[in-house]
Each structure stands twice: as structure tokens, then as C-alpha cells.
Structure 1
Amino acid sequence: MDDVKESCLFPERDRVALYEATAPGVSPVEWAMANVERLNARLVTAGAVLLRGFDVPDASVFSGFVKVFGEELAEYTYRSTPRSKVGDVYTSTEYPASEVIPLHNENSYTSRWPQRLWFYSAVAAQSGGETPLADSHAVYQRIPADVRERFERHGVRYVRNYRAGMGISWEETFPGMDRAAVERFCGERGIVVEWQPGNGLRTTETCQAVATHPVTGKQVWLNQAHLFHVSSLNEATRLALLELMAEEELPRSAYFGDGSRIDDADLAAVRGAYEAETLAFPWQAGDLLMVDNMAMAHGRNSFVGPRKVLVAMTGSHGSRQTG
């Protein structure tokens, strides 16, 4: 008899399939091995799959669960936020507990991104700390047509400046690479590299704003303009930084692909679409979450108390073939 019951966390939208162990000691690795096709199929229709109540004592079991699905765990290269490696997986973004990470699709600020994300709630926060999700196709549909058209026509240009003491350094962004390796990596992806005085670096890359899901064929909103654009900063921080440096010198900036400015109002509409489509549930210790990275955006809410969520990334998809 299968000691696991199936339901759906958000049945009105058929988002986030839930599989709950009804008996203690059920191995997520063994159960997944017997149900790979079932889970893969449900991930396509529900966008995310949550396993709850299984026996997940540590990161090695989490890693073993991910490997059941036959995909190599990806290295987090060309990163935009600080993380630490734990075995062959990573911590979630190491931002202060008070900060909110807006909804986004992982690595959608570049031309290649993981197909799947995997989360393991090792320690659930006392309150808050949810990993909210949003249907990327529903977000696309909710954004006003004229805003969508501008983004689709031009794409998004990301300008990143890496310097000591502000944001993350190029050494953190490209772990284990020297300057020559960084130039090779960027050259293969069409990223423009400009070395700056004082061991600084600027990269510029123009990417997709929208993509087509390879399985469902749906159009999905797939960029991080709303995170990189200067309007993402609170007003005090924005004014203080712009007194010190030109906008193009900020750690992160976003423009339309032709270099023209993105209007704050356009990004307010994008943020409004994400807010309207947000789905959130409280983590429980031991939860395992599979996410289709193109179908569903994710973020992080602020929290109180200790919180430890580990992350893995697998598969690769993109808007430009590399090297």
C-alpha cells in the first residue's frame, strides 16, 4: 500500500501538487524512484510539486532525491546573489532576514537558465520565510499588452558592475575562474566584458524578456528587469547611490535591449502582475519542493527566527546556443 496521499495546495489554479507521507519513515528517495514518471508528469501540469512528511534528515538525502531524476546538479556560476555550497547543493540566497526577495525565475537575467529548481526546508522559520511562487504564464497574461510588446520587441539589457565593497565581486560571481576563464565564459554567451580600474569588471548582456515553455508551448515572462532596474531600490538608497555614481556604475542596472530606458511605470505594472499571481504556503521542516523554473517564478518573504533552506538546480535551457 502506498503510504502517500496526493492533493493540490492551490486547487482552484491547479498549482503545486502535494504528496504527503501518511506513515513515519517513508524514504523520499525510494518513493521517488518508484514514482518518477508520476512526479515528472505532475510537475508539467502543476508547475511545482511538494513532498511533505517524508524522512529527510539531512542534505545528503535531499541530494539523493534530486539525483533520482537523472539530472546533473548544476554549479551556480555567473551568480547574482551570495550563496554557500553545502556538499553538492547550495544555501538559498544569504540576504538578511528582514529583506524580501521579489519573485523571479532563476538565472533569467542571462541567456541560459536551469530547467528545474529543488528546495529542502531543513529548518522552518518561526514566522514568515515562505518561498512564494507565481505562474509565469499567468504573469505574462496579466501584464498590459503595450508593456509586453515593448519588452518582447527589445529584450532586456543587463549591465553589472563588480567592485570590492559594493555588491558581489567578480570572483564570487565566477567562482574558481581567473580573468581569462571569465572572458572565455562570457564570450561563449555573448556577454561583453570590460575590465575596470582597481580589479573591477563590467559585464553587459542583452537577453530575452519572454520565452516559450518547451513542453507546454505557453509564453512565459522570463526576465529580471524588475530586480536589476534602479526602481527596485528604495528611494533613500536610490538617491544616495545616484549622488555617488552614475546609473551605469551601479552594481546592477537594466535597460531595454537597444539601450533605451525602461519606464518606472512599466516595471510597476510588472510588479503588480507578480503580486496578483503570488501563491504562498508556510514551510514545514523536511519539505521537499520541485519547481519548473520556466513555469513558476519564486521569491522569499522576510522571516523571524532561524531558517535554513537548501537549493539545487538541474537541467539547462536557453535563448541562445552557447559555444
Structure 2
Amino acid sequence: MNIKSIKRKPIIVSSEKLIKTEFINEQKLPLVIQPAVDGIDLAAWIANNRQWLETQLFQYGGILFRNFNLINPEDFQVCIQAISSELIEYSYRSTPRSQVSGKIYTSTEYPPAESIPLHNEMAYSSSWPMKIGFFCVEVAEKGGETPIADSRKIWQRIPPKIKEEFIEKKVMYVRNYGQGLDLDWETVFQTNQKSEVENYCRNVGIEFAWLADGNQLRTRQVCQAVAIHPQTGDMVWFNQAHLFHVSSLKTEVRESLLAIVKTEDLPRNAYYGDGSEIANSVLAEINEIYWQEAVMFPWQAGDILMLDNMLTAHGRQPFVGSRQVLVGMAEPYSLD
């Protein structure tokens, strides 16, 4: 037999055989994807299976990529871009973060002993990222999990009377910047030009006023309390009233603040859209529903957790030791 006459045939391995899937719990959140063979380039695999991944994300709300030997922020960014090419800058900020590389940021830089309630990213705005990804660089010595919860189930469990009032009135977010008690307006809007702040506010429907010496800013914005997912048609609970409301602060912190500032001068607060008060008991009930639906799992270094930001809320548990989890946001969406 003439070896040169033998034609080589390519061996085709289906994408499904390259990975294996499982669930961490009975809630089926998140879907866990791991390599079935060695040496898989996760970013390339994602790019070749983007439609299938979108379907899984719409169904389950979250996907955990594990054991793909990812090491640095660049690995993370390439993977996010593979599933969604348009990454978002963190421009209208609510919490302190640092830019790491490109449009990759640290997760919220709150003290390790503090927990962060479950929420959907930028639900305090009329525009938000449809996808948010988390990348674990370093696992905390203890704690530091990122709890997640299905926003569809949260919507279903909230009592009808509470739903009705929020749907009718919506949510008003009031923020005061420049008092040294929270983020200043330069950090929130990523500029030191007042004219740029004013233009931004006008464009997105935020009322604003410069106070005192002209360097303190107060804003008011009325936004949605619930939303309909543009692809799945699912109704979801989608606001951050429970985070912005003064009742979210620890009792001693809240009392100390109110001893030195008026209620209207608090760094942030939330009301119904007509300006009326939201009862503490209502927000406590909503918070409790979030935690009843919460799913937690221990991080492993190299994990990527990709969430549909409308379908799945996220938070953070307190931790001990050093912890580094990075964040990337993608696919800007606006109600307008």
C-alpha cells in the first residue's frame, strides 16, 4: 500500500462531548459547565457555542464555568467578550470599585465584615447590563460566597398587595453627593465637569440640584419596580429599594447619621415614585424573600460565574482573609 495515497480524514468532536454539565443543588441554579477533556480553550468554546449558552442562560439564569485553568483578568475579559462582544464601563456608580484592566473591575469594595444584600446590577437606573460576570482570582480564607437568587421566583413570592403598590408608584431614588458620607459626584459620574453631569442627568431623566456651596449635588430619579425580560418575556422583581432605603443601614449607623443630617440629606434613600414613604416592614419582607431564595456555593480559584442580570440577583457574604473577585458587565439595555 502506498502511504502517500492515503487521504487524511479530520476527526470531528462535537462541542457537547468537550464539556460536561451538572447542578450544584435542586434549584438548578447555576448550571455548572466543566471540561470533559484537557486543554479546552474556554473563550473559543464559548464563541462556537454562543447560541446554546444563551439558551441555557435564559432557562437557568446563571452558568458557572469551572476547572478551565483560567488565571488572570485578561482570560476573564476574553471569555466575557466571547459570549457578549459589548462590554460596559461602570459609569453611573452606586458602590466603590477599582478598574483592573480594560472594562474589568473589582467587585464592590465594602469592608470584609459587611454583607451585601441580593440585588440586580444597576436596577436603580433605567438602563443596565443584561449580563454580569464574576471571576474568582483568590478565594477567601472563610466566607465570601456570592449568593444568587432567581428574580422570577422572587417576583412570584412577593405578596400581591406589595406588588401592586410598587407597580403603580414605582421607586424614587434620592442621592446626596459631596458630604463625605458616601461616593462623591465626581466618582459616581466619572467626571469633574458639572456640565457633563447635568447633561447625563437630563439625558436619562434624573432630576438634579446643586446645593450649599454649589459643590454638593442632590439627584432624584423614578425608575421601574418590576420589569419584563426582553427575550424570555418573564416578569421579574427589578429594583434596589431595599438597598437604597435608610432601613438597610445597621441601627447604630442609621441613628448616628440621622443625628447629624436631616432625612432628606441622607447620602441615599428610597421612596415610592410619588415621594411617599416605603414602610420598613415591607422592605424587610422583601429582603427575607431574597434570602429564602438564595443559593450559595464556595468559590474555587479560576471560576467564572455568568449571570443574566435581569433573571438572577446576586450579593456577597462576609469573609475573612484576602479575597479577590473581579466583575465585568456586558450588553447595555435601556427601557428607552
TM bucket normalised to smaller: over 0.9
Identity among equivalent pairs (%): 45
Task: String of CA shifts for 1:213-244, please: whole Å, max 9, x gaps.
Answer: 11221210000000111111111111111111
Give how far 1:305 is off.
1.4
Question: Do the aligned partners of 1:27 and 1:56 also contact (CA within 8 Å) in 2?
Answer: no
Q: 1:160 is matched with which residue?
A: 175
1:34 aligns with 2:48: yes
TM-score for both structures, normalised by structure 1: 0.96
Map of 1:82 onto structure 2: 96
Q: Report the 3-state secondary structure (helix = DSSP H, G, I; strand = E; otherwise coil) of the residue aligned with 2:30.
A: strand
1:284 partnered with 2:285: no
Q: 1:163 to 1:16 in 2, by over 3 A?
A: same
Asked whether the equivalents of residues 28 and 55 of structure 1 are also in contact (C-alpha less than 8 Å), the reply is no
Q: Any stretches of 5+ residues in structure 1 without a counterpart?
A: none
Q: Of 198, 201, 222, which residue of structure 1 is paired with 2:217?
A: 201
Query: Which whole-Å CA distance do the structure 2 matches of 1:197 and 1:25 have between them?
Result: 60
Residue type at the aligned position of 2:312: M
Q: Indicate yes or no: 2:139 matched with 1:124.
A: yes
User: Which of 323, 326, 331 is the matching residue for 1:307?
Assistant: 323
Instruction: Quote the offset at 1:23 in angstroms.
Output: 4.3
Aligned to 2:253: 237
Name the larger-Rg structure.
2
Equivalent residue pairs, number: 319
Structure 2: how far apart are the matches of 1:70 and 1:92?
A: 20
The residue matched to 1:204 in structure 2 has which SS? strand
Q: Distance in 2 between matches of 1:139 and 1:33?
A: 32
- 2:188 maps to 173
Residue 7 of structure 2 is matched in structure 1 by: none
**AA aligned opposite 1:208:** Q
Determine the C-alpha separation between the residues in 1 that align with 2:24 and 2:233.
24
Cα deviation, residue 177, structure 1:
4.9
CA RMSD, 1 decimal: 1.3
For 1:188, the equivalent position in structure 2 comes to 203
Q: Residues 109-144 of structure 1, C-alpha deviation per residue, up to 9 Å, x if partnerless?
A: 111111000111011111211111011111111111
> Which amino acid counterpart does residue 180 of structure 2 have in structure 1?
G
1:273 Cα deviation after fit = 0.9
The 10-residue stretch of structure 1 (216-225 or 292-301) with the greater mean CA deviation from structure 2: 216-225
* Shift, 1:318, TM fit: 2.9
Q: Is the 2:84–2:330 Cα contact (8 Å) retained in structure 1?
A: no
- Once the two structures are TM-superposed, the CA of residue 24 in structure 1 deviates from its matched residue by 4.4
Moved more, 163-172 or 96-105: 163-172
Cα pair distance change 1:35/1:213, threshold 3 Å: same
Q: Distance in 2 between matches of 1:287 and 1:298?
A: 16
- Counterpart of 1:5? 20
2:58 to 39, 44, 52: 44
Q: In 1, distance between residues paired with 2:149 and 2:278?
A: 23
Unaligned runs of 5+ in 2: 1-12
Question: What amino acid is the match of 1:127?
Answer: K
Q: CA deviation at 1:4?
A: 2.1
Q: Which residue of 2 aligns with 1:294?
A: 310
Query: TM-score, normalising length from structure 2?
Result: 0.92
Residue 78 (structure 1) shift: 1.0
Give me the whole-angstrom Cα distance separating, in 2, the residues matched to 1:230 and 1:175.
25
